[in-house]
Amino acid sequence: MMILPLAACQQMALQHDEGVPVSVRVDDAAYWLEEWHRVIALPDEQLKQTLEARKQEFERAANPRTRLRLALLLAEGPKAVRNQSEALKLLKGLDTSKASDSAQALAALLVQIIGEQYWSGDKISEIRAKLKQSEARVEELERQLQELTTIEQNIQQRETPN
């Protein structure tokens, strides 16, 4: 039983497309990003299964590693599994005294990304509302212009002798 936790912190080699091996610890952000890159390419059904597995893993062992793996998938996974508000809760609940420096950095980056996406969404909503108001104002002005044109035409018809 003691071998498993120790194995989780040992160095391992990851093979990248360029063929250059990179040495990382299992709890390093590079490993999670590599894993995330593989997971986001999965079909929706497998993504949902992966999400469920991550949730169960987190429930069994709520540590910084399982928390961050789940939060990363929820924060930046494909639409089928994305839930940024849940990811934000997980990230804000991260025990920084138990998390590695890279885990803390990745969590901070994810919090910033989610915050910026929320801000962008709010700005888009605000701009859409202003656009809708502007379109309504343009329609009103066009209606008024048409009424004035009609009035002007009526006046010109009255002034024209028969």
User: Is 129 within the bounds of a domain?
Assistant: no
User: Looking at per-residue confidence, does 105 or 20 come out higher?
Assistant: 105
pLDDT mean across residues, the chain: 82
pLDDT band at residue 149 using 50, 70 and 90 as cut-offs: very high
Contact call for residues 50 and 80 (beta carbons, < 8 A): no
The parent domain of residue 110 ranges over 3-120
d(C-alpha 49, C-alpha 57), whole Å: 12
Query: How many other CB atoms are there within 10 angstroms of residue 21's CB atom?
Result: 10
Amino acid at residue number 93: G
User: Is 139 within the bounds of a domain?
Assistant: no
In sequence order, the β-bridge partners of residue 21 are 15
Classify the C-alpha dihedral 128-130-131-133 as positive or negative: positive
Phi, psi dihedral angles at 22 (to 5 degrees): -120, 130
Check residue 104 and give its pLDDT: 87
User: Is 27 within the bounds of a domain?
Assistant: yes
Check residue 15 and give its pLDDT: 47
Among the listed ranges 18-22, 89-93, 144-148, which one has the minimum average pLDDT value? 18-22
User: Is 94 within the bounds of a domain?
Assistant: yes
Query: What integer is the mean pLDDT of 25-35?
Result: 70
63-116 pLDDT tens trace? 888 899 899 999 988 888 999 999 999 999 988 888 888 888 889 999 999 999
Check residue 27 and give its pLDDT: 56
pLDDT cut 70: percent of the chain above it: 80
Among the listed ranges 28-42, 54-68, 108-122, which one has the minimum average pLDDT value? 28-42
User: Is 33 within the bounds of a domain?
Assistant: yes
User: Is 162 within the bounds of a domain?
Assistant: no
Domain count, the chain: 1
User: Is 42 within the bounds of a domain?
Assistant: yes
Per-residue tokens: 24: 């990382």
User: Is 13 within the bounds of a domain?
Assistant: yes
Nearest C-alpha neighbor of 104 from the set 116, 92, 120, 114? 92
35 burial (CB, 10 Å; 0-12 / 13-18 / 19+) is middle
Phi, psi dihedral angles at 135 (to 5 degrees): -65, -40
